[in-house]
Amino acid sequence: MAILIDGSTKVLCQGITGSAGAFHTKGCLDYGTSMVGGVTPGKGGQQDANGLPIFDTVADAVDATGATASMLFVPPAFAADGILEAATAGVEVICAITEGIPVADMVRTREILDRDHPGVVLIGPNCPGVITPGKRVAGEGPEATFEGGCKIGIMPGYIHTHRADAASGKAVGIVSRSGTLTYEAVWQCSDRGIGQSTCVGIGGDPVKGMNFIDCLERFEADPETDEVVMIGEIGGTDEVDAGRWAAQHMTKPVVGFIAGRTAPKGKRMGHAGAIIGGADDTADAKISALREAGLEVSDSPAGLGHAMAIALGLGAEAT
């Protein structure tokens, strides 16, 4: 099993005719994702380079294809409206990959989603997306082919491992504010024979959709997730809140990592939400809080694989 998406999920790309949308639509198709069409206003009735139908509106696309998920590459100025259009059309999972959406737009969007579309799951914005790995059927590395999985976003699919292909027979769920650190954790898992159930990049903006607790709840309920990896960074209180929630509600081990130990106070570090506003949202403060909650916290991203293997009881041979 998995959370949020699986091999049966039908996916649209909003902004499919833009360079990023076109490139990553092909990447998702090549991975085996059921991409069923795209949306670009004014280009309805055409096809993209992959032969997928293009629609003028998300509502038209959903009616014609039955899509339940969307991958959004709409430019920042129009992305919030694109999220709301997808929600209004009945899309259940919206992955907003777009970076640079104005915070005021996201505050308005969250208010409307929470009020009018409480069942819609928004991932992002400013995120790599979400992937439920498929089973490898042929090839190695970037040339490998997969089936039964779903990749919505920009992550390199070939580094992910389905539980059935993992030497350990174990699978972890990964949730992260950082795209690059998500890939690092995945690679270390796969290199140690540990599969992944679902990997969710929740994004680094201060106002976003899913948070850590939303993912932890789903991973806890998923029988095919044996452990959870939570990767956070400076800024905000989400990681500490999630650690305290995990201490009370999680039966599965949770391994954490917090980026930004050397970040200076008051200086934004990459992500819009990665800024230290006080003593409680520094990396050291978050690490201490997570350890007090009973989580295993790696001091370095290079140690994530080791921490995961130990938490799963795989011993030194897997580290």
- Provide the pLDDT for residue 307: 85
> Residue 110 maps to which CATH number?
3.40.50.720
35 part of a folded domain = yes
CA distance 154 to 156: 7
Q: Single out the residue in 70, 95, 123 at which a domain terminates.
A: 123
pLDDT > 90? residue 275: no
pLDDT at 279 over 50: no
Q: Name the active-site residue from 24, 160, 162, 271.
A: 271
Q: Are residues 241 and 115 in the same domain?
A: no
Is the same domain home to 73 and 175?
A: no
Arithmetic mean of pLDDT, 181-210: 93
Q: Which of 24-38, 166-180, 228-242 has the highest mean pLDDT?
A: 24-38
Boundary-marking domain end, from 94, 123, 152: 123
Residue 135 placed within a domain: no
* 34 part of a folded domain: yes
Residues 304 and 173 reside in one and the same domain: yes
Concerning whether 306 is annotated as a catalytic residue, the answer is: no
Report pLDDT digits (tens) over 217-230.
Answer: 999 999 999 999 99
Residues 309 and 166 in one domain: yes
Residue 238 forms part of a structural domain: yes
Q: Is the pLDDT of residue 104 over 50?
A: yes
CB 279 within 8 A of CB 153: no
- For 135-149, 179-193, 257-271, which range has the lowest pLDDT when averaged over its residues? 257-271
Q: Is the pLDDT of residue 185 over 60?
A: yes
How far is 133 from 207, CA to CA, in rounded Å? 28
Please tell me whether residues 97 and 165 are part of one structural domain. Answer: no
Q: How confident is the model at residue 86 (pLDDT cuts 50, 70, 90)?
A: very high
Same domain for 118 and 185, yes or no, is no
Tell me: cis bond preceding 125? Omega within 30 of 0 counts.
yes
CATH number at residue 183: 3.40.50.261
Flag whether pLDDT at 164 surpasses 70: yes
Question: In this structure, is residue 91 part of a structural domain?
Answer: yes
Backbone angles phi, psi at 193, to 5 degrees: 75, 25
Q: What is the pLDDT of residue 316?
A: 55
State the average pLDDT over residues 168-191.
92
Q: Indicate whether 108 and 38 sit together in one domain.
A: yes
**Domain enclosing residue 222, as ranges:** 161-318
Output the pLDDT for position 301: 81
DSSP-derived 3-state class of residue 88: helix
pLDDT-derived band at 271, boundaries 50, 70, 90:
very low
**Do 119 and 165 share a domain, yes or no?**
no
Q: What is the pLDDT of residue 273?
A: 44
Confidence at residue 265, expressed as pLDDT on a 0 to 100 scale:
58
Measured in whole angstroms, how far is the alpha carbon of residue 208 from the centre of its chain? 12
Q: What is the pLDDT of residues 1-59, one digit of tens each?
A: 689 999 999 999 999 999 999 999 999 999 999 999 999 999 999 999 999 999 999 99
- Domain count of the chain? 2
95 and 216 belong to one structural domain? no
DSSP class per residue in 255-301: EEEEE-TTPPTT---SSTT----SGGGSHHHHHHHHHHTT-EE-SSG
**Both 114 and 169 in a single domain?**
no
Q: Is residue 65 part of a domain?
A: yes
Q: Is residue 70 located within the same domain as residue 198? A: no
Give the percent of the chain with pLDDT over 90: 71
Give the pLDDT mean for 67-90: 98
pLDDT band at 276 (very low <50, low <70, confident <90, very high): very low
Residue 29 tokens, joined: 């198709």
Question: Does residue 188 share a domain with residue 55?
Answer: no
Residue ending a domain, choose from 62, 94, 123: 123
Give the per-residue pLDDT at 272.
Answer: 46
Q: 171 lies in a domain?
A: yes
Share of the chain above pLDDT 70, in %: 91
- Whether the CB-CB separation of 32 and 149 falls below 8 Å is answered with yes
Task: Give CA 103 to chain center in angstroms.
Answer: 20
Which of 234-248 are b and which e, b meaning 16 or more Cβ less than 10 Å from the residue's Cβ? bbbebbbebbbbbee
Residue with tokens 């095919």: 224
In a domain, 175, yes or no: yes
